[in-house]
Structure 1
């Protein structure tokens, strides 16, 4: 292979140094959006119903990631552990081969590659701390404004919001997420996310990434502004899992903060305010059958796992397996099990779990030591929902934050 002349190498490096910060900023700003193009084929229909989870989708953020990887390809290649890469690639090929719907498994394999590349890029990212806060705050302001409008008007904004991937929302739409608070029916705001729970989980993770990261403490105004927006979005979502996690982790963070313990009144006031506000939003009544559905999903996932112990049913193929149960319904066709751990082992088996832990152990340990709140937030919300593995914004947020820690 012909080597590039020194001048061309310098020119390429110079261009990369200019374009990478722009692409990184654009990616972070548009990460909460879901503007994309779904592609539907015969295999994306289950029992005659079109299923989004099975359709290959190209999002705006995927395009930005593609160019980020393209201009940083040498960094990505150098960062790979060759032995682990071959090991993981071999497993993924086996997983694809045994999958009942192979195109879906191939698509999930591509998403895993995207996940890993993003992690490697953000591990080397040199974006300024203040720039992080500014971008997250401006993007959060868009989501906050959109969510507030949806909450107040009880329908979607549409128009320019379509460019952010806002879906059409109305209280009259079947299966729309809504709640009842003090006798008033409320449309739970989606922002530009697929579901209010996804919105809440996204900003819950960012909240604890920013609030428990000392490098952002120098920029108190931007930090406070972003934490205010994040808190508002978590509460407006009426996501019980996210709100309870928010209350619990803030409680422990406050109690364990030795500096704040010097001011007992300050500590007590913060705990009372968080509990009071959180409790008000927890009063909202959402889907009364939610826990029953989640239990049913869990039982089905355990059955799928038992039948595919070693290598799983195949990446992205969980719904195909769930649809084989005789008591399927619209919910079981469109919804995977609401637990990321059961979902993962159902699709990738024991072998996938072991390989994943071997590859990710060191980084998980580092995150646990540096910012355990981020890891705990993923764990607690992941126990009762699936969006960390299935939805674009949440799925790609993890490598961004874990890579940056």
Structure 2
């Protein structure tokens, strides 16, 4: 079957066959999982891009079609199955590891054919609104998916969303992991839910990217306290469009430094950039940030001989946990899938391909003692996270507008 032809636009290919993005990466057509890249390249035809990369068009198109014929089997890698009595898995996956993780999931399902599974795991860039809508419309535990995966706070802790089901003790951590990876043993970090309701797969860390050419005579910031010190007002770019990570940053700053810390972060804001723009901010003509706060993954794109240097904060990279919620009532049916998702193989995809450190104790995250920062379970349990987020956003954006 011929899936691809040379005159198809890149955006159409990526949307219809997302498993091909990894192949494009290997041949130097980079970052097609990023919205910013698709905006630039999306309307170009496959033929024109291949010619620009000096890749033989016929050979490459044939390779793509052969790959799809061998691996797709007429089933979309991102959404599978439809039958009565099946296990349901839904949520969001970080863009850099979505396709390789889905490939491993499909391999797992091929081996475990007795499992009847329907899943929808979208890219994190799709946002949470569709998932929130599903949760709100469910309004009853039996209508919820059996397994939820996503980063961030608002979906899982707001009372009108997952919070109400947590109070009803619908969820249970059934991973069997008693102690998380040793990388999360630093002071004030305890990721394992003491109530045993929620589990985690890994974390998305936020680090600093410093443009030494713009920094001037200011010292390189090494801590979050340095960022909030007032020395970097109107000098910092933040990933506001990455809602999960931005929300985690606001909550952690509020927990550690209070409302004044959130206001100081707002005053530091120069502009909102997508991480793919952040790593190239030294090429900007105006409003060039001295510091960008970004997911650790994107530091892989920095040129070694350029003016940009990555700094892992000494007091810890603020994290956005990748949560997994699993239904207690379905424990026996879903245990095998949960063991796979929380296991070493998936942990290594997260850590080694996405630079999203895994909580699995068998995974080597290769972090050499680097620290993390997050608000902690006591703070979550003692506060209405939805109200905290609303207040933090108001304080942040009001301060950002001040001259």
Q: Under TM normalisation by the shorter chain, which class is it?
A: under 0.3
User: What's the TM-score, normalizing by structure 2?
Assistant: 0.24
Q: Could you say which structure has the higher strand fraction?
A: 2
Q: Could you say which structure has the higher helix fraction?
A: 1
User: What's the TM-score, normalizing by structure 1?
Assistant: 0.24
